[in-house]
Amino acid sequence: MATVYREGDISLLGKVAIIGYGSQGHAHALNLKESGVDVSVGLRADSKSRAAAEAAGLRVGTAAEVSKDADLIALLVPDQTQPTVWENEVQPNIKPGAALLFAHGFNVHFGRIVAPADHDVIMVAPKGPGHIVRRIYTEGFGTPALFAVAQDASGNARAKAMGYAAGLGANRAGMLETTFTEETETDLFGEQAVLCGGTAELVRAGFETLVEAGYQPEIAYYECLHELKLIVDLMYEGGLDYMRYSISDTAEFGDLTRGKRIIDQHVRDNMKTVLSEIREGEFAKQWIEDMNNGEKTLNELRAEAKGQKLEEVGKTLRALMQR
């Protein structure tokens, strides 16, 4: 069993600059501030988030300005933008010996950001979307997080990462140590094979199978998308065992006799291929090429994914479920 850490010393962090006030940025800035850390937020001069950050009582400047006196700089702009923000705003202003922190290992692991040797390079990756990281903290608890060290210049990099994770509230839920490589590869695999790619296509395939067979699309939507959340909630609370305890014996018999026919060896083989594309850098190469090409492929695929039958039906049914 891996060690689950429950402690970290926030007094090691000094002045923290959070660059970006998006999903992770706003959660990190507010959680750290309320944990007693000295936080400022770096935004573009014309950023729409400026008013929100100021209203929350945070000190706001440009990324360049807040980088100047920070002891720890958290780069929480999108992965596509990080190299430019690092080169143009952070690197020219970072104090000697200041630590650089990431919430995902992509840019360091794939060599797109290489910090000079006198800076700690660390990661704290909450295992949840930013808005949940914030909400759970306001409820008095925390979201679990991974922490890692890529470069230990101060001799104290690991303790700083743990202190930062604790400032986010992760110590309450559990902190696991990892490497930039492990976090990057497992995170990419999870979102591609299971959480986003796999689940979205499973839902779509189930929905379309029912609709093509002549069933009402509204019923197919409830069955394949709406109820998925209720089932996942049970898994989240008590694992697969608890989900199976809660469903009917009929559902359980169907699950145990049919599930492995749906997610069969062929699907597992595809998962292995997707994982090896991640490990060999093939996925990163393709994504970086698309970034350099104005995200043309991403935008085309986005447009294609929108406006499906499932989405039309869902829009109507979700409006009825507004309380």
Site stretch for Mg ion (CB under 5 A), options 6-14, 108-116, 185-193, 233-241 = 185-193
The amino acid present at 37, given as its one-letter code, is V
Least separation in angstroms between residue 264's CB and Mg ion is 26
Residue of 86, 167, 187, 188 interacting with Mg ion (CB under 5 A): 187
- Pick the closer one to ligand NAD by CB: 35 or 143: 143
Binding-site string for ligand NAD from residue 37 to residue 66, where x marks contact by CB under 6 A and - marks none: ------xx--x-x-------------x---
**Closest to 205 in 3D by CA, of 225, 226, 235, 229:** 225
Q: What are phi and psi of 42, to 5 degrees?
A: -100, 125
Residue of 36, 57, 78, 97 interacting with ligand NAD (CB under 6 A): 78
Residue 104 annotated to the active site: yes
- Pick the closer one to ligand NAD by CB: 126 or 314: 126
Question: Partners of 33 in the beta sheet?
Answer: none
Binding-site string for Mg ion from residue 142 to residue 181, where x marks contact by CB under 5 A and - marks none: ----------------------------------------
Q: For residues 139 and 271, what is the distance between their CA atoms, to the nearest angstrom?
A: 37
Cite the DSSP H helix spans in 263-308.
265-279, 282-292, 296-305
Q: Label the pairing between strands 145-151 and 121-126.
A: antiparallel
CA of residue 243 relative to chain centroid, distance: 25
Question: Do residues 175 and 146 make contact, with C-beta atoms less than 8 angstroms apart?
Answer: yes
Cite the DSSP H helix spans in 86-169.
106-109, 130-138, 157-168
Question: Do residues 142 and 175 make contact, with C-beta atoms less than 8 angstroms apart?
Answer: no
- Pick the closer one to Mg ion by CB: 200 or 219: 200
Residue of 8, 10, 16, 20 interacting with ligand NAD (CB under 6 A): 20
Site stretch for ligand NAD (CB under 6 A), options 6-14, 16-24, 151-159, 260-268 = 16-24
Query: Does residue 183 bind ligand NAD (CB under 6 A)?
Result: no
Tokens 């360091």 locate to: 108
Least separation in angstroms between residue 222's CB and ligand NAD is 28
> Which is the catalytic residue, given 26, 28, 104, 109?
104
Query: Does residue 116 bind ligand NAD (CB under 6 A)?
Result: no
- Strand ordering across the sheet containing 15-19: 4-5, 175-177, 145-151, 121-126, 99-102, 72-75, 15-19, 38-42, 59-61
User: Which residue number is nearest to ligand NAD in terms of Cβ?
Assistant: 22
Q: Give the residues lining the site for Mg ion (CB under 5 A).
A: 187
Q: Give the residues lining the site for ligand NAD (CB under 6 A).
A: 19-25, 43-44, 47, 49, 63, 76-79, 81, 85, 102-104, 125-126, 129-130
Catalytic residues: 104
